[in-house]
Amino acid sequence: MSIHDDVEVVLLDTETVASRVRALGAELTADFGERDPVLVSVLKGSLVFLADLIRAMEMPVSIDLMEVSSYGAGTESSGQVRILKDLSGPIEGRHVVVVEDIIDTGLTLNYLLKYLADKGPASISIVCLLDKPARRLAEIPIGYTGFSIPDRFVVGYGLDYDERYRNLPYVGVLKPSVYGGAPPEG
Ligand code: PRP
């Protein structure tokens, strides 16, 4: 039994993701090369993307990690965000690049952008691997997007279902039998 057996469709295969991440790294290198940015990643889903993205950036960068969770039950963001792990260093005067795996309703990032802005960075930019515009509730100024995807529940390349499947090297959709019914929202 392999985790691959639970995948119904591969939406973005390994090489497609890798080549897009390399291109994003090159874009960020061109745009931030002399500016010593700090990449702020939001755990846990962004971990795989961050790891590949920084290796595609041929310039000095720092990283910092946050972990947040939405208040309330269910799989949908509520917009009320609790910070489980805060930044470990100051960002005042720094060029911040927020690294996200997926932007769905946008409510998590909407909160986080205000939180980070209050700390007085020189600028805040957003790079996200997957943009799911169909479900957006808060407008988010995404500077760099890997892929715009349809409104399907996706796993892999960092994204989970019930904490599993983050280690799939591609982005895919699970078989309905895995959920035992309708796929989760989000
Ligand atoms: C995902 C993702 C974003 C958020 C996006 O995290 O990493 O932080 O959801 O959703 P939104 O745009 O609707 O607010 P998730 O809560 O699944 O946690 P995880 O990264 O630890 O898996």
Sorted by sequence, the CB contacts under 8 Å of residue 150 that are 6+ apart come out as 132, 134
pLDDT of the chain, 186 residues: tens digit per residue: 899 999 999 999 999 999 999 999 999 999 999 899 999 999 999 999 999 999 999 999 999 999 998 765 555 556 678 999 999 999 999 999 999 999 999 999 999 999 999 999 999 999 999 999 999 999 999 999 999 999 999 999 999 999 999 999 999 999 999 988 777 877
Tokens of 47: 């971990």
With vertex at residue 173, the alpha carbon angle to CA 170 and CA 178, rounded to the nearest 5 degrees, is 120
Mutate to test the pocket of ligand 1, among 108, 129, 142, 145 (most ligand atoms within 8 A of CB): 108
Tokens of 59: 């310039």
d(CA 107, CA 23): 27
pTM of the model: 0.94
Does residue 104 have an active-site annotation? yes
Sorted by sequence, the CB contacts under 8 Å of residue 6 that are 6+ apart come out as 165, 174, 175, 178
105 lines ligand 1 (CB under 6 A): yes
Q: Which residue out of 13, 52, 101, 104 is catalytically annotated?
A: 104
